[in-house]
A = this chain, B = another copy of it.
Amino acid sequence: MARIVMKFGGTSMAGMERIRNVAARVKHVVEQGHEVAVVVSAMAGETDRLVGFCKEASALYDPAEYDVVVASGEQVTSGLLAMTLKAMGVDARSWLGWQLPIRTNEAHAKARIGDIDTIDLLASMRSGTVAVIPGFQGMMEDGRISTLGRGGSDTSAVAVAAAVKADRCDIYTDVDGVYTTDPRIVARARKLDLVTYEEMLELASVGAKVLQTRSVGLAMKEGVVVQVLSSFDDPTQTDLPGTLIVSEEELEAKLKEDKMERQLITGIAHDKNEAKITVTRVPDRPGAVAHIFGPLADAAINVDMIIQNVGRDKGETDVTFTVPGADLARALDVLESQKEEIGFNRVIPDTKVAKVSVVGVGMKSHAGVASTMFKSLADRGINILAISTSEIKVSVLIDEDETELAVRVLHTAYGLDAPVA
Protein backbone atom coordinates (compact mmCIF):
# COMPACT_ATOMS: atom_id res chain seq x y z
CA MET A 1 0.00 0.00 0.00
CA ALA A 2 1.28 3.42 -0.92
CA ARG A 3 0.01 6.97 -0.63
CA ILE A 4 -0.20 8.49 -4.08
CA VAL A 5 -1.09 11.96 -5.33
CA MET A 6 -2.46 11.97 -8.88
CA LYS A 7 -2.64 15.19 -10.86
CA PHE A 8 -4.70 15.74 -14.02
CA GLY A 9 -4.43 18.76 -16.31
CA GLY A 10 -7.08 20.66 -18.22
CA THR A 11 -7.06 18.42 -21.29
CA SER A 12 -7.82 15.38 -19.09
CA MET A 13 -10.68 17.27 -17.38
CA ALA A 14 -12.28 18.75 -20.54
CA GLY A 15 -15.84 17.46 -20.35
CA MET A 16 -17.65 14.70 -18.51
CA GLU A 17 -16.48 11.90 -20.80
CA ARG A 18 -12.84 12.65 -19.99
CA ILE A 19 -13.62 13.17 -16.31
CA ARG A 20 -15.15 9.70 -16.33
CA ASN A 21 -11.89 8.36 -17.79
CA VAL A 22 -9.95 10.10 -15.03
CA ALA A 23 -12.31 8.61 -12.44
CA ALA A 24 -11.78 5.12 -13.90
CA ARG A 25 -8.02 5.62 -13.62
CA VAL A 26 -8.32 6.79 -10.01
CA LYS A 27 -10.61 3.87 -9.21
CA HIS A 28 -8.01 1.47 -10.58
CA VAL A 29 -5.33 2.87 -8.26
CA VAL A 30 -7.71 2.78 -5.28
CA GLU A 31 -8.53 -0.86 -6.02
CA GLN A 32 -4.83 -1.70 -5.80
CA GLY A 33 -5.14 -0.66 -2.15
CA HIS A 34 -3.50 2.77 -2.32
CA GLU A 35 -4.51 5.92 -0.46
CA VAL A 36 -5.20 8.54 -3.09
CA ALA A 37 -5.47 12.32 -3.35
CA VAL A 38 -6.26 13.79 -6.76
CA VAL A 39 -5.32 17.33 -7.78
CA VAL A 40 -7.23 18.70 -10.77
CA SER A 41 -7.01 21.60 -13.19
CA ALA A 42 -9.97 23.45 -14.66
CA MET A 43 -11.48 22.18 -17.91
CA ALA A 44 -9.25 23.12 -20.85
CA GLY A 45 -10.22 26.60 -22.03
CA GLU A 46 -12.16 27.49 -18.87
CA THR A 47 -9.41 29.53 -17.20
CA ASP A 48 -8.93 31.46 -20.46
CA ARG A 49 -12.68 32.16 -20.53
CA LEU A 50 -12.64 33.44 -16.94
CA VAL A 51 -9.48 35.52 -17.47
CA GLY A 52 -11.20 36.94 -20.56
CA PHE A 53 -14.09 38.21 -18.42
CA CYS A 54 -11.62 39.88 -16.04
CA LYS A 55 -9.78 41.59 -18.88
CA GLU A 56 -13.12 42.74 -20.27
CA ALA A 57 -14.02 44.14 -16.84
CA SER A 58 -10.89 46.26 -16.71
CA ALA A 59 -7.37 46.25 -18.11
CA LEU A 60 -6.18 46.80 -14.54
CA TYR A 61 -8.46 44.32 -12.83
CA ASP A 62 -8.30 43.87 -9.07
CA PRO A 63 -6.11 40.82 -8.42
CA ALA A 64 -8.08 39.74 -5.31
CA GLU A 65 -11.30 39.56 -7.32
CA TYR A 66 -9.45 37.97 -10.26
CA ASP A 67 -8.59 35.12 -7.87
CA VAL A 68 -12.25 34.80 -6.83
CA VAL A 69 -13.26 34.50 -10.48
CA VAL A 70 -10.57 32.18 -11.85
CA ALA A 71 -10.44 29.82 -8.85
CA SER A 72 -13.98 28.74 -9.76
CA GLY A 73 -12.72 26.67 -12.72
CA GLU A 74 -10.94 24.13 -10.51
CA GLN A 75 -13.80 24.21 -7.99
CA VAL A 76 -16.15 22.94 -10.71
CA THR A 77 -13.87 20.08 -11.85
CA SER A 78 -13.16 18.92 -8.30
CA GLY A 79 -16.88 18.70 -7.53
CA LEU A 80 -17.54 16.88 -10.80
CA LEU A 81 -14.71 14.38 -10.31
CA ALA A 82 -15.75 13.67 -6.70
CA MET A 83 -19.37 13.03 -7.71
CA THR A 84 -18.28 10.86 -10.63
CA LEU A 85 -16.11 8.75 -8.32
CA LYS A 86 -19.01 8.36 -5.88
CA ALA A 87 -21.30 7.32 -8.73
CA MET A 88 -18.70 4.63 -9.58
CA GLY A 89 -18.79 3.36 -6.01
CA VAL A 90 -15.51 4.99 -4.91
CA ASP A 91 -15.84 7.05 -1.75
CA ALA A 92 -14.60 10.58 -2.46
CA ARG A 93 -14.99 14.19 -1.47
CA SER A 94 -13.72 17.54 -2.68
CA TRP A 95 -11.57 19.78 -0.47
CA LEU A 96 -11.42 23.33 -1.74
CA GLY A 97 -8.32 25.45 -1.15
CA TRP A 98 -9.99 27.32 1.73
CA GLN A 99 -11.38 24.14 3.26
CA LEU A 100 -8.10 22.37 3.98
CA PRO A 101 -6.81 25.15 3.95
CA ILE A 102 -3.87 25.45 1.57
CA ARG A 103 -2.23 28.55 3.02
CA THR A 104 -0.41 30.91 0.66
CA ASN A 105 1.44 34.19 0.95
CA GLU A 106 -0.33 37.47 0.24
CA ALA A 107 0.44 37.73 -3.49
CA HIS A 108 -2.86 37.55 -5.36
CA ALA A 109 -2.70 35.88 -8.78
CA LYS A 110 0.88 34.68 -8.18
CA ALA A 111 0.76 33.29 -4.65
CA ARG A 112 3.22 30.79 -3.23
CA ILE A 113 2.05 27.89 -1.12
CA GLY A 114 3.01 27.95 2.53
CA ASP A 115 1.77 25.12 4.69
CA ILE A 116 -1.21 22.85 4.18
CA ASP A 117 -3.35 21.61 7.07
CA THR A 118 -3.57 17.86 6.68
CA ILE A 119 -5.23 16.60 9.87
CA ASP A 120 -8.76 16.31 8.43
CA LEU A 121 -7.44 15.44 4.99
CA LEU A 122 -5.31 12.53 6.22
CA ALA A 123 -8.06 11.24 8.49
CA SER A 124 -10.39 11.20 5.50
CA MET A 125 -7.84 9.56 3.21
CA ARG A 126 -7.02 6.92 5.84
CA SER A 127 -10.74 6.06 6.06
CA GLY A 128 -10.58 5.16 2.35
CA THR A 129 -12.03 8.38 0.94
CA VAL A 130 -10.33 9.76 -2.16
CA ALA A 131 -9.52 13.45 -1.62
CA VAL A 132 -10.19 15.61 -4.69
CA ILE A 133 -8.35 18.91 -4.46
CA PRO A 134 -8.56 21.81 -6.90
CA GLY A 135 -5.12 22.85 -8.12
CA PHE A 136 -3.97 26.44 -8.58
CA GLN A 137 -5.79 27.82 -5.54
CA GLY A 138 -5.25 28.51 -1.86
CA MET A 139 -6.27 30.85 0.91
CA MET A 140 -4.42 33.84 2.29
CA GLU A 141 -3.98 34.82 5.92
CA ASP A 142 -6.92 37.27 5.59
CA GLY A 143 -9.25 34.46 4.52
CA ARG A 144 -9.48 35.45 0.87
CA ILE A 145 -8.92 33.18 -2.13
CA SER A 146 -5.52 33.23 -3.82
CA THR A 147 -4.26 31.57 -7.00
CA LEU A 148 -0.75 30.49 -7.92
CA GLY A 149 -0.39 31.84 -11.43
CA ARG A 150 -0.98 29.94 -14.67
CA GLY A 151 0.16 26.34 -14.66
CA GLY A 152 0.12 26.34 -10.87
CA SER A 153 -1.72 23.03 -10.55
CA ASP A 154 1.52 21.04 -10.93
CA THR A 155 2.88 22.98 -7.97
CA SER A 156 -0.32 22.33 -5.99
CA ALA A 157 0.06 18.60 -6.62
CA VAL A 158 3.68 18.55 -5.45
CA ALA A 159 2.80 20.67 -2.39
CA VAL A 160 -0.03 18.30 -1.45
CA ALA A 161 2.27 15.31 -1.99
CA ALA A 162 4.86 16.90 0.32
CA ALA A 163 2.22 17.74 2.95
CA VAL A 164 0.73 14.24 3.10
CA LYS A 165 4.20 12.64 2.72
CA ALA A 166 3.07 10.80 -0.40
CA ASP A 167 5.18 7.98 -1.76
CA ARG A 168 4.81 9.45 -5.24
CA CYS A 169 3.23 12.33 -7.14
CA ASP A 170 1.98 11.14 -10.52
CA ILE A 171 1.48 13.98 -12.98
CA TYR A 172 -0.68 12.95 -15.91
CA THR A 173 -0.07 14.98 -19.07
CA ASP A 174 -0.62 14.63 -22.80
CA VAL A 175 2.88 13.18 -23.24
CA ASP A 176 3.99 9.86 -21.79
CA GLY A 177 7.14 11.12 -20.10
CA VAL A 178 10.26 13.23 -20.48
CA TYR A 179 12.26 12.62 -23.65
CA THR A 180 15.92 12.97 -24.50
CA THR A 181 14.80 15.79 -26.77
CA ASP A 182 11.69 17.08 -28.59
CA PRO A 183 10.37 14.02 -30.51
CA ARG A 184 8.93 16.36 -33.14
CA ILE A 185 12.53 17.27 -34.05
CA VAL A 186 14.26 13.94 -33.49
CA ALA A 187 12.13 10.92 -34.38
CA ARG A 188 14.59 8.66 -32.54
CA ALA A 189 14.32 10.58 -29.27
CA ARG A 190 13.99 8.17 -26.33
CA LYS A 191 11.74 8.37 -23.30
CA LEU A 192 13.80 8.67 -20.13
CA ASP A 193 13.01 6.31 -17.25
CA LEU A 194 14.81 8.47 -14.72
CA VAL A 195 15.87 12.09 -14.56
CA THR A 196 17.11 14.18 -11.63
CA TYR A 197 15.37 17.32 -10.36
CA GLU A 198 18.35 19.42 -11.50
CA GLU A 199 18.27 17.97 -15.00
CA MET A 200 14.50 18.45 -15.19
CA LEU A 201 14.90 22.08 -14.18
CA GLU A 202 17.44 22.65 -16.93
CA LEU A 203 15.38 20.73 -19.48
CA ALA A 204 12.21 22.63 -18.53
CA SER A 205 13.74 26.08 -18.35
CA VAL A 206 15.37 25.68 -21.75
CA GLY A 207 12.27 24.57 -23.53
CA ALA A 208 11.21 21.00 -22.72
CA LYS A 209 7.87 22.11 -21.30
CA VAL A 210 6.34 19.14 -19.51
CA LEU A 211 6.13 20.37 -15.91
CA GLN A 212 5.90 23.84 -14.49
CA THR A 213 9.44 24.81 -13.41
CA ARG A 214 8.26 25.90 -9.98
CA SER A 215 6.78 22.47 -9.26
CA VAL A 216 10.12 20.79 -10.02
CA GLY A 217 11.92 23.20 -7.69
CA LEU A 218 9.42 22.44 -4.93
CA ALA A 219 9.68 18.67 -5.50
CA MET A 220 13.47 18.96 -5.20
CA LYS A 221 13.25 21.01 -2.02
CA GLU A 222 10.71 18.65 -0.44
CA GLY A 223 12.14 15.42 -1.84
CA VAL A 224 8.90 14.43 -3.58
CA VAL A 225 9.30 11.65 -6.13
CA VAL A 226 7.43 12.82 -9.23
CA GLN A 227 6.32 10.67 -12.12
CA VAL A 228 5.32 12.22 -15.45
CA LEU A 229 3.03 9.97 -17.41
CA SER A 230 0.30 10.04 -20.03
CA SER A 231 -3.38 10.25 -19.20
CA PHE A 232 -4.10 8.48 -22.48
CA ASP A 233 -2.22 5.27 -21.70
CA ASP A 234 -3.88 2.09 -20.53
CA PRO A 235 -4.94 2.76 -16.92
CA THR A 236 -4.48 -0.87 -15.90
CA GLN A 237 -0.73 -0.80 -16.55
CA THR A 238 0.57 -1.05 -13.01
CA ASP A 239 4.36 -0.66 -13.15
CA LEU A 240 5.90 2.77 -13.65
CA PRO A 241 5.27 3.62 -17.29
CA GLY A 242 6.38 7.28 -17.26
CA THR A 243 9.49 9.20 -16.30
CA LEU A 244 10.50 9.31 -12.64
CA ILE A 245 12.01 12.55 -11.38
CA VAL A 246 14.24 11.91 -8.38
CA SER A 247 17.25 13.19 -6.47
CA GLU A 248 20.76 12.39 -7.67
CA GLU A 249 21.18 9.94 -4.79
CA GLU A 250 17.99 8.11 -5.71
CA LEU A 251 19.13 8.05 -9.33
CA GLU A 252 22.45 6.47 -8.29
CA ALA A 253 20.71 3.90 -6.13
CA LYS A 254 18.24 2.94 -8.86
CA LEU A 255 21.00 2.66 -11.47
CA LYS A 256 22.99 0.42 -9.14
CA GLU A 257 19.91 -1.69 -8.46
CA ASP A 258 19.30 -2.15 -12.19
CA LYS A 259 23.04 -2.55 -12.88
CA MET A 260 22.87 0.34 -15.36
CA GLU A 261 25.58 2.82 -16.34
CA ARG A 262 24.95 6.48 -15.87
CA GLN A 263 24.59 8.36 -19.17
CA LEU A 264 26.97 11.23 -19.79
CA ILE A 265 24.22 13.39 -21.26
CA THR A 266 20.54 13.05 -20.36
CA GLY A 267 18.94 15.28 -22.95
CA ILE A 268 19.18 18.07 -25.48
CA ALA A 269 16.97 21.15 -25.01
CA HIS A 270 16.37 24.13 -27.23
CA ASP A 271 14.75 27.53 -26.77
CA LYS A 272 13.84 29.93 -29.54
CA ASN A 273 12.48 32.56 -27.15
CA GLU A 274 15.83 34.23 -26.59
CA ALA A 275 16.94 37.59 -27.88
CA LYS A 276 20.51 38.76 -28.35
CA ILE A 277 21.54 42.34 -27.68
CA THR A 278 24.87 43.84 -28.72
CA VAL A 279 25.90 47.18 -27.19
CA THR A 280 28.70 48.68 -29.31
CA ARG A 281 31.66 50.82 -28.37
CA VAL A 282 31.27 50.72 -24.62
CA PRO A 283 34.20 52.49 -22.88
CA ASP A 284 36.62 49.81 -21.73
CA ARG A 285 37.02 50.96 -18.14
CA PRO A 286 36.10 49.50 -14.75
CA GLY A 287 32.39 49.91 -13.95
CA ALA A 288 31.17 50.60 -17.47
CA VAL A 289 29.63 47.15 -17.79
CA ALA A 290 27.95 47.54 -14.39
CA HIS A 291 26.03 50.47 -15.90
CA ILE A 292 24.52 48.00 -18.37
CA PHE A 293 23.67 45.08 -16.12
CA GLY A 294 22.75 46.96 -12.93
CA PRO A 295 19.74 48.77 -14.45
CA LEU A 296 18.64 45.57 -16.26
CA ALA A 297 18.68 43.68 -12.96
CA ASP A 298 16.74 46.52 -11.32
CA ALA A 299 14.09 46.07 -14.02
CA ALA A 300 13.95 42.34 -13.16
CA ILE A 301 15.21 41.38 -16.62
CA ASN A 302 17.07 38.10 -16.55
CA VAL A 303 20.37 38.27 -18.46
CA ASP A 304 21.71 34.86 -19.46
CA MET A 305 24.79 34.63 -21.71
CA ILE A 306 27.33 37.47 -21.70
CA ILE A 307 30.33 38.03 -24.00
CA GLN A 308 32.68 40.97 -23.87
CA ASN A 309 34.22 41.22 -27.33
CA VAL A 310 37.80 42.32 -27.68
CA GLY A 311 39.77 43.79 -30.55
CA ARG A 312 37.82 46.99 -31.07
CA ASP A 313 39.37 50.44 -31.15
CA LYS A 314 41.58 51.06 -28.23
CA GLY A 315 39.71 51.87 -25.04
CA GLU A 316 36.35 50.57 -26.37
CA THR A 317 34.61 47.20 -26.42
CA ASP A 318 31.36 45.57 -27.65
CA VAL A 319 29.19 43.78 -25.08
CA THR A 320 26.80 41.01 -26.22
CA PHE A 321 24.24 39.26 -24.02
CA THR A 322 20.90 37.45 -24.19
CA VAL A 323 17.57 38.18 -22.51
CA PRO A 324 14.17 36.40 -22.73
CA GLY A 325 12.46 37.47 -25.95
CA ALA A 326 9.45 38.73 -24.01
CA ASP A 327 11.68 41.21 -22.17
CA LEU A 328 13.50 42.54 -25.24
CA ALA A 329 11.47 45.74 -25.70
CA ARG A 330 11.80 46.62 -22.02
CA ALA A 331 15.53 45.86 -22.08
CA LEU A 332 16.04 48.21 -25.03
CA ASP A 333 14.13 50.94 -23.16
CA VAL A 334 16.31 50.48 -20.10
CA LEU A 335 19.51 50.69 -22.17
CA GLU A 336 18.34 53.78 -24.06
CA SER A 337 17.59 55.51 -20.76
CA GLN A 338 21.14 54.70 -19.57
CA LYS A 339 22.90 55.88 -22.73
CA GLU A 340 24.61 58.78 -20.93
CA GLU A 341 25.92 56.69 -18.07
CA ILE A 342 27.06 53.77 -20.22
CA GLY A 343 28.39 55.90 -23.06
CA PHE A 344 27.77 53.39 -25.86
CA ASN A 345 27.41 53.99 -29.58
CA ARG A 346 24.54 51.71 -30.69
CA VAL A 347 22.30 48.90 -29.42
CA ILE A 348 21.73 46.07 -31.92
CA PRO A 349 18.92 43.61 -31.09
CA ASP A 350 18.64 40.20 -32.74
CA THR A 351 15.74 37.81 -32.19
CA LYS A 352 16.76 35.31 -34.87
CA VAL A 353 18.80 33.28 -32.38
CA ALA A 354 18.21 30.07 -30.46
CA LYS A 355 19.79 28.48 -27.43
CA VAL A 356 20.63 24.78 -27.61
CA SER A 357 21.74 22.99 -24.44
CA VAL A 358 23.13 19.60 -23.54
CA VAL A 359 22.05 18.59 -20.03
CA GLY A 360 23.19 15.78 -17.75
CA VAL A 361 24.35 15.17 -14.20
CA GLY A 362 26.85 12.75 -15.74
CA MET A 363 29.01 15.63 -17.00
CA LYS A 364 29.95 16.52 -13.41
CA SER A 365 32.45 13.67 -13.44
CA HIS A 366 33.44 13.73 -17.10
CA ALA A 367 35.56 16.18 -19.03
CA GLY A 368 35.21 16.68 -22.77
CA VAL A 369 31.46 17.27 -22.92
CA ALA A 370 31.80 20.86 -24.15
CA SER A 371 34.51 20.08 -26.70
CA THR A 372 32.39 17.26 -28.20
CA MET A 373 29.60 19.80 -28.54
CA PHE A 374 31.69 22.48 -30.19
CA LYS A 375 33.38 20.04 -32.54
CA SER A 376 30.11 18.36 -33.62
CA LEU A 377 28.54 21.72 -34.40
CA ALA A 378 31.66 23.02 -36.19
CA ASP A 379 31.77 19.88 -38.33
CA ARG A 380 28.30 20.78 -39.63
CA GLY A 381 29.24 24.44 -40.14
CA ILE A 382 27.08 25.72 -37.27
CA ASN A 383 28.47 28.95 -35.90
CA ILE A 384 28.44 29.48 -32.12
CA LEU A 385 27.53 33.05 -31.12
CA ALA A 386 27.81 32.64 -27.36
CA ILE A 387 28.40 29.97 -24.74
CA SER A 388 27.26 29.49 -21.15
CA THR A 389 27.79 26.58 -18.82
CA SER A 390 26.62 25.29 -15.47
CA GLU A 391 27.62 22.20 -13.51
CA ILE A 392 25.19 20.01 -15.46
CA LYS A 393 24.63 21.97 -18.66
CA VAL A 394 26.43 23.49 -21.65
CA SER A 395 24.43 25.97 -23.74
CA VAL A 396 25.30 27.60 -27.04
CA LEU A 397 23.60 30.42 -28.87
CA ILE A 398 23.22 29.85 -32.60
CA ASP A 399 21.32 31.16 -35.63
CA GLU A 400 17.64 30.27 -35.15
CA ASP A 401 17.44 28.64 -38.59
CA GLU A 402 19.96 26.02 -37.49
CA THR A 403 18.12 24.96 -34.32
CA GLU A 404 16.71 21.64 -35.50
CA LEU A 405 19.91 20.68 -37.28
CA ALA A 406 21.94 21.39 -34.14
CA VAL A 407 19.58 19.37 -31.93
CA ARG A 408 19.79 16.37 -34.30
CA VAL A 409 23.57 16.58 -34.59
CA LEU A 410 24.02 16.69 -30.80
CA HIS A 411 21.45 13.94 -30.14
CA THR A 412 23.50 11.63 -32.33
CA ALA A 413 26.87 12.88 -31.10
CA TYR A 414 26.07 11.98 -27.48
CA GLY A 415 24.67 8.59 -28.41
CA LEU A 416 21.09 9.38 -27.44
CA ASP A 417 19.38 8.06 -30.58
CA ALA A 418 17.11 5.10 -29.95
CA PRO A 419 18.17 1.90 -31.71
CA VAL A 420 16.51 1.52 -35.10
CA ALA A 421 13.61 -0.87 -34.63
Residues of A participating in the B interface, judged by any CB pair closer than 8 Å: 16, 19-20, 50, 53-54, 56-58, 60-62, 64-69, 71-73, 75-76, 78-80, 82-84, 86-87, 93-94, 96, 98-99, 143-145
Contacts and interface: CB of A to CB of B under 8 A. Distances in A.
Given A72-B72, A96-B68, A99-B144, A58 B84 contact: yes
B87 A76 contact: no
A78 to B, nearest CB: 7
| Central interface residue in A57, A60, A66, by most chain B CB within 10 Å | A57
A375 to B, nearest CB: 57
Nearest to A54: B83
Given A84-B58, A87-B58, A143-B99, A53 B68 contact: no
Given A53-B80, A62-B83, A68-B76, 20 more contacts: A16-B53, A50-B76, A53-B76, A54-B83, A58-B84, A65-B79, A65-B82, A65-B86, A65-B94, A66-B83, A68-B75, A68-B78, A68-B82, A69-B75, A69-B83, A71-B75, A72-B73, A75-B75, A99-B143, A99-B144
Nearest to A88: B58
Given A72-B72, A87-B61, A99-B144, A79 B56 contact: no
Nearest to A74: B72
A87 B80 CA distance: 33
Contacts of A144: 99
Contacts of A19: 57
Contact of A16 (B57, B76, B93): B57
A419 B155 CA distance: 69
B57 A83 contact: yes
Give 8 closest A-B pairs by Cβ, nearest first: A68-B79, A58-B87, A69-B79, A65-B83, A72-B72, A16-B56, A65-B79, A62-B83
Determine chain A's interface SS by DSSP, over half rule: helix
A242 to B, nearest CB: 28
B69 A80 contact: yes
B72 A58 contact: no
A5 to B, nearest CB: 20
A233 to B, nearest CB: 24
5 contacts: A16-B57, A53-B80, A58-B83, A60-B87, A69-B83
B57 A87 contact: yes
A62 B145 CA distance: 25
Contacts of A65: 79-80, 82-83, 86, 93-94
Contacts of A99: 143-144
Contacts of A54: 79-80, 83
A20 to B, nearest CB: 8
Contacts of A67: 79
A80 B57 contact: yes
A298 to B, nearest CB: 30
A13 B262 CA distance: 60
A56 B86 CA distance: 14
A147 to B, nearest CB: 11
A356 B75 CA distance: 45
Contacts of A69: 75-76, 79-80, 83
A94 B68 contact: yes
Contacts of A75: 68-69, 71-72, 75
Nearest to A43: B53
Nearest to A58: B87
A254 B16 CA distance: 55
A41 to B, nearest CB: 15
A71 to B, nearest CB: 8
Contact of A79 (B66, B87, B94): B66
Nearest to A96: B68
Contacts of A94: 65, 68
| Central interface residue in A60, A83, A86, A144, by most chain B CB within 10 Å | A83
